[in-house]
Structure 1
């Protein structure tokens, strides 16, 4: 999927200035997942995509998260790690020094990087059939009518145990990891000026400790059906 995805996003970015498709009536369907650290958001997103792709849809659902940084970096001719650091740094002088280290030819302003990341998220949301994990996507796509915005939460003990299991850390290390990543996510949203996790922005909030993966997927599927998210996206059945 890698190269074809990057080529597609690059084409759409080039089209963005001349052809604004961003009507909230025509956009989507899109699902965004905001999550606390340790809620296995990516795992759930991949399970959900697999389940949705069993239906007869006009195209396949894809999960997007790190790909957003990779495509933004490609568009800007920068390393993905530089994009990540943009959203972690609160000291502007330090950030400018990082970029200048790559030379004048590859120097890009902070505003240009932020704008590009936002545009990539927006394109994925508008074009639809994407499950976007994080990246303030619930805010960037908040005006899209054909969207489902999910928030995953869990008690701290559940999240610590998840990190211990996923990353082979002890509990103290897992707690430090959670605190570190949560701070990075807050910094990301603040850079985008989208630091908003109000409950009313989400259609569905799930406590991961209360449901198995299968139960969580069934709940989300029910909400997708109830909200008629896919009403206009299923293939027409052929009868013989």
Structure 2
């Protein structure tokens, strides 16, 4: 049945997220804010931007025409929300599951990284990054493009 298939997919996704956490690092999407919930050391961040800015970014990175880029953005929003609801019965667009919500529409990637690092260090004041896994350095990207 669809319900048992959804349970299997959710269980596999949860195992994937938990395995990634064992290695350390960043979990992008995959309902990580819900799966990792109150895991000590985790920080849940939601990155948002106005639809127009997101469409511009898709055009810039893919070369799609504006109408197709707009449809891609809307479809991804819809599909991600539907999957979260079907698999986990939660709304990923609700800010309640996140420590920090950042509107990236007018920020550079470096500004976003700096904000996240600062928030993480405030949430976990004793944190020391491992060699090679530090947060410093320029990403070379500009989120405003």
Normalization by structure 1: what TM-score?
0.48
| Partner residue, 2:95 | 199
State the distance in 1 between where 2:69 and 2:125 align: 37
Q: Do structure 1's residue 223 and structure 2's residue 119 form an aligned pair?
A: yes
| Partner residue, 2:35 | 140
Aligned 8 A contact 2:17 2:32 in 1 = yes
Displacement after TM superposition at 1:130 (Å): 2.1
State the distance in 2 between where 1:113 and 1:152 align: 25
Aligned residues: 128
Q: What secondary structure sits across from 2:59 in the alignment?
A: helix
Q: Return the match for 1:179 from 74, 85, 92.
A: 74
State the distance in 2 between where 1:228 and 1:193 align: 28
Q: Do structure 1's residue 213 and structure 2's residue 109 form an aligned pair?
A: yes
Normalization by structure 2: what TM-score?
0.77
Q: Return the match for 1:189 from 69, 84, 87.
A: 84
| Structure 1 residues 167 and 231: alpha-carbon distance in aligned structure 2, compared to 1, 3 A threshold | same
| Greater radius of gyration (CA) | 1
Spell out, residue by residue over 1:156-195, the C-alpha distance to the aligned partner (whole angstroms, 9 max, x if none).
Answer: 1101100111111111111111111112111220222242
| Partner residue, 1:129 | 24
Q: Return the match for 2:54 from 145, 150, 159.
A: 159
Spell out, residue by residue over 1:88-121, the C-alpha distance to the aligned partner (whole angstroms, 9 max, x if none).
Answer: xxx94xxxxxxxxxxxxxxxx6133332222211
Q: What secondary structure sits across from 2:44 in the alignment?
A: strand
Q: CA RMSD in A?
A: 2.2
| Structure 1 residues 159 and 217: alpha-carbon distance in aligned structure 2, compared to 1, 3 A threshold | same
| Structure 1 residues 115 and 229: alpha-carbon distance in aligned structure 2, compared to 1, 3 A threshold | farther
Aligned 8 A contact 2:45 2:101 in 1 = yes
Q: What secondary structure sits across from 1:206 in the alignment?
A: strand
What pairs with 1:57-96 in structure 2 (closer than 5 Å)?
92=2
**Which stretches in structure 2 are left out of the alignment for 5+ residues?**
132-145
Higher relative contact order, structure no. (Cα contacts within 8 Å, ≥ 6 residues apart): 1
State the distance in 1 between where 2:125 and 2:63 align: 38
Aligned 8 A contact 1:135 1:188 in 2 = no
**Which stretches in structure 1 are left out of the alignment for 5+ residues?**
1-90, 93-108, 236-240
